[in-house]
Amino acid sequence: MLRKLLDKLQEHVGWTGAGRARVRKGGGGEMWYTFGVLRNGLNCENVLWTNKIGYVDMPMKKSEFKDCDVYAAKISALRPFPKETLKSLRDYYRVGLTYSSNALEGNSLTESETKVVIEDGLTIGGKPLKDVYEATGHAKAYDFLYKLTKDEPVTEEDILKIHRLFYGQIDKAHAGAWRKVRVFISGSRRVLPAPEKVPRLMTDFVKWMAQNDGKLHPVEFAALVHQKLVYIHPFVDGNGRVARLLMNLSLMRAGWTLAIIPPICRHEYIATLEKAGRMPAPFVRFIRDRVCETQKELLRLMGQSIVLDDEGVKSSNDEGVNEGVKALLDVIRSNPGRRANELATLIGKSVQSVERYVKALKDGGRIAFRGAPKNGGYYVVGGA
């Protein structure tokens, strides 16, 4: 009966194979499942099990990372950076990553307060000491990453040291040690592995990293490193911070910019991460978008304001921008404060096309939306 079903799937929806697989169950132990494999447009393969639906990790299509790749090439063309520039960028992202990663976990320090704490060594009046220790600890762990940007694989001891540096001032007894107790993720239904399984799972995780580094796109690999560590949850606390540090270490080792997740994106971040165990593509895309934003920020800092169109990156002057984008820019100059649907009427294009042009102009820092979401509109920035 299953064979007939799979034949139908092959005929109608692109079934690519069938077989049997030994699968670990959440509560421990293993079972053999019979399955059929369906390829979807994300190049992830959905698995139709005889008694459950799951997924198989498969590389996403390279086209999913087209924008990131183009930005990466643009940044590479600016290298090598002067030594002073490298130090300045390292310090810049030291503050930005420390602030954002801690804020995602409820730390009350602002970005400017984080800078004062980790660069000037001062405490902030009225702020919990734990928040200060999280900032100084994260900065130490971030600095340690630069000692790991080499060819040797990341080891379990490296991961333990990252946690020890981050968590040492907060809870010395548990810093840099695998957990020996059960833990839970608030707001999540995920059942985390029993503590006695953590050492073996971390050994397997490090092996997976060594085997897949270089096989997947750097952004996809980094996102999966994050997801897999969080799902093991090897520490009593600080798992999210360590996962984000490891993710960024993976990007750094591949020569990529960091993925900084701003606190405003927390809901999307948590939601996609929660589902990533059975559907990783949305989480990978979320991380991809964060990498793209960091790349664009770096290019702007380097004076390289850019936009994207269907052909890739073009310069921000009018000669390098496609005709649709140029026309929209002219309309916004003449009709400031209009919304996308109004601009579509004025320019004689579909709303979908105008939204694509708007994105290109916003990415290039040439226009901005001002006012409330319901009655605001787009305006030209500066002398764009």
Catalytic residues: 233
Phi, psi of 92 (to 5 degrees): -60, -50
CB atoms within 10 A of CB 263: 16
Q: What is the dihedral sign for C-alpha 80, 82, 86, 89? A: negative
- CA 331 centroid distance within chain: 35
Pairing of strands 312-315, 367-370: unpaired
- Radius of gyration of the chain measured on its C-alpha atoms: 24
CB atoms within 10 A of CB 116: 16
DSSP secondary structure code for residue 23 in this structure: E
Residue matched to tokens 């690999």:
221
Q: Which helix (H) or strand (E) holds 33?
A: strand 30-39
**Count of residues for the chain?**
384
Say how far apart CA 337 and CA 333 lie, in whole Å: 9
Of residues 59, 12, 85, 90, the one with CA closest to residue 281: 59
309 touches 322 (CB < 8 A): yes
Pairing of strands 306-309, 15-24: unpaired
**Tokens (6 digits) for 13:** 């929806």
**Tokens (6 digits) for 125:** 């009046």
**Tokens (6 digits) for 46:** 């959905």
93 touches 79 (CB < 8 A): no
